[in-house]
Chains A and B, each alone.
Chain A
Amino acid sequence: MKKLNKNFWVGIIVALAFYGVVQVLLTTGIFTDVTRSMLLLIGVNIMLAVSLNLITGITGQFSIGHAGFMSVGAYTSAILTLDYNVPFIPGILAGGLLAAVFGVLIGMPTLRLNGDYLAIATLGFGEIIRIIMLNTEYVGGASGLSGIPAKTTWTMLFLFTLITVVVINNFIGSTHGRACIAIRENEIAAEAMGINTTRYKIIAFTIGALFAGMAGGLSAHTFYVITPGSFNFLKSFEIIVMVVLGGLGSTAGSIVGAVFVTLLYTYLREFPEWRMIIYSIVLILMMIFRPSGLLGKTKFSLGRFGKKEAKANDAISESSAP
């Protein structure tokens, strides 16, 4: 426990130092607007990847509907700040909360499913949310909402990202997180050991959806415009790709994956015709040659950085990740 605490505080200090450096670079104008919006995008993607990792990497519930939660959060907070003049932070929080409600709603009926069936059901839910937005005139239909005030600042984004990572990482380390890992490893055995699998699956979905919703709100307040099309299943795939490329089940991996994919996407933008082709080849090669992801199961750890989380988790890569 002591070690975890030390790691925790060092992590926080490193993150704050990073924040300070970027803040200085932004205020002195060394970082351009392009860099700034890329940083914001990276932050949003980290929130999405870390929250999906809780559902898929830790609890083992394969979900391809994460963009749906993001869209609920984005629309809710955008409507609140646009039409009801709600201040920024409560708006984002409300978006996250509504997304969490959807997390419960989606979690409950789909609990009977597992593996591929759950994946397809969540994909269906994500698409249904998109189609509802598409057909609701109040939220702008296909053309979406525009003129959302760009209130997401670097400081705000940093705070939300830090909170997401800290809360989810501490959850994973707690008794409840261990229960979730037990469900991932073997649901029947977990049930037999007295773990209320239903409850933990819903908890995972709810927390995951909460942070995805906040990420959605933040991204809506970064880019002025949201359309239903930007939250389709391709976006969900993108988030899964971040989690898997980084290393399924590792918070650090999700962060690295989110940064990697965002940078790859941004830099490939200069070659529009080749962008998706290169991206897809990277995906395929990565899965063939390093299916455990960039960091595997690595955890944040001092001194032993890079050492895989020993014993208990080693069997995972072979077994039942969905």
Chain B
Amino acid sequence: MEYFIQQLINGISVGSIYALIALGYTMVYGIIKLINFAHGDVFMVGSFIGLYSAKYLANAGFSPVVVLVLSLVISMTISGLLGITIERLAYKPLRKSTRIAALITAIGVSFLLEYTGVLILGPQAQGFPDIMDKKQYTLFGTSIQVESNQVMILLTTIILMVILQYIVRYTKTGKAMRAVSFDVEAARLMGINVDRTISATFAIGSALAAAAGVIFGMTYNSVDPLMGVMPGLKAFVAAVLGGIGSIPGALVGGLLLGTVETEISSLGFSSWRDGVAFAVLILILIFKPSGLFGKNVREKV
């Protein structure tokens, strides 16, 4: 039982990373119906920016908490701008073309980010600096252990989620985002600047992916230019699992997927982990295609 709970805790910390990436997928898909395959690579870029700013700030002698917060903010800002740039240069000219053309472009952008990364940074993995000392806490006198890193991950995720909820629920941009995802044309008629709203969506999604990238670096201590591919796909699975377009769905989907994966690994089937993730995806798609939190959309004739 204790072992199970231990794995659950580990699963939640992996799941938070998926959830943060999945939010970007789900928001972009909700608005322009595009599976943004480049999203996983924005996560990678965010991770590298986090790595370099953390190194720089640590050398400049800041305290660990400041280093963490600042490198998160720097990484999120730059990645947010990157997200806007990608949208403007690659996706905006395709707004009116077929879905498959947009999808191919997304794949192209994904390759471009990956291999520009390989060109500049080299293909080998780099170590991520230890921003904070890792401590182990023992829970309630049992053998269940929680790492300071895991606490930090969960805290960061929760804070970002609360901020996101606030933006989506109460700000003007958030209202515009909801309106555009409901009906682009009607939103345009009501005077909403659709292009700016889409840019804002990309910025927020990319910033969240960057935060996930920094957290990922801190957890696994190793980053490389091709690391975005698998987490990107898994996060997409998480988004579909929760119901694509739904923000709470992305959170639940991410946590669920992370937990299932960790439990599978702990049972000794770690090489089947990715397979199980995809099997879960297919089962969900077959039995409840709209996902756990999705609405059923009927096709109009």
> Which positions in A face B, CB cutoff 8 Å?
56, 62, 109-110, 112-113, 115-117, 119-121, 123-125, 127-128, 131-132, 134-135, 188, 233, 237, 240-241, 244, 248, 273-277, 279-281, 283-284, 287-288, 291, 317-318, 321-322
Of all chain B residues, which has the CB nearest A186? B301
Whether the Cβ atoms of A124 and B282 lie closer than 8 Å is yes
Given A188-B299, A276-B114, A277-B116, are A135 and B105 also a contact pair (CB < 8 Å)? Answer: no
Bound-state CA distance A321–B98 (Å) is: 6
Task: Kindly list the 4 A-B residue pairs having the minimum CB-CB distance in the complex, ordered from nearest.
Answer: A283-B108, A131-B275, A280-B111, A276-B115
Whether the Cβ atoms of A241 and B104 lie closer than 8 Å is yes
The number of chain B residues with a CB under 8 A from chain A is 43
Per DSSP, are chain B's interface residues mostly helix, strand or loop, or mixed?
helix
Whether the Cβ atoms of B119 and A280 lie closer than 8 Å is no
Given A132-B275, A280-B112, are A124 and B281 also a contact pair (CB < 8 Å)? Answer: yes
| Residues from chain A with Cβ under 8 Å of B104 in the complex | 240-241, 244, 283, 287
Of all chain A residues, which has the CB nearest B119? A273
Min C-beta distance of B135 to chain A, whole Å: 36
Any A CB within 8 A of the CB of B90: yes
Whether the Cβ atoms of A120 and B100 lie closer than 8 Å is no
Whether the Cβ atoms of A131 and B116 lie closer than 8 Å is no
What are 12 inter-chain pairs, A to B, with CB distance below 8 A?
A: A113-B286, A113-B289, A119-B103, A120-B240, A124-B279, A125-B278, A125-B282, A127-B275, A188-B299, A244-B100, A281-B108, A283-B104
Whether the Cβ atoms of A287 and B94 lie closer than 8 Å is yes
| Residues from chain B with Cβ under 8 Å of A317 in the complex | 98
Within 8 Å by CB of B112, from A110, A123, A131, A284, lies A284
Given contacts A110-B285, A273-B119, A288-B105, 6 further A-B contacts (CB under 8 A): A113-B285, A116-B35, A237-B107, A280-B108, A281-B108, A321-B98
Within 8 Å by CB of A284, from B103, B108, B282, lies B108
Whether the Cβ atoms of A276 and B111 lie closer than 8 Å is yes
Any A CB within 8 A of the CB of B271: yes
> Which positions in B face A, CB cutoff 8 Å?
29, 33, 35, 90, 93-94, 97-105, 107-112, 114-116, 118-119, 233, 236-237, 240, 271-272, 274-275, 278-279, 281-282, 285-286, 289, 299, 301
Q: How many A-B residue pairs have CB under 8 A?
A: 128
Whether the Cβ atoms of A128 and B278 lie closer than 8 Å is yes
Whether the Cβ atoms of B99 and A322 lie closer than 8 Å is yes
Bound-state CA distance A157–B40 (Å) is: 38
Whether the Cβ atoms of A281 and B112 lie closer than 8 Å is yes
| Residues from chain A with Cβ under 8 Å of B102 in the complex | 287
Within 8 Å by CB of B107, from A115, A116, A283, lies A283
Whether the Cβ atoms of B116 and A127 lie closer than 8 Å is no
Given A274-B119, A288-B90, A288-B94, are A279 and B111 also a contact pair (CB < 8 Å)? Answer: yes
| Residues from chain A with Cβ under 8 Å of B282 in the complex | 109-110, 121, 124-125, 128
Whether the Cβ atoms of B107 and A112 lie closer than 8 Å is no
| Residues from chain B with Cβ under 8 Å of A280 in the complex | 108-112, 115
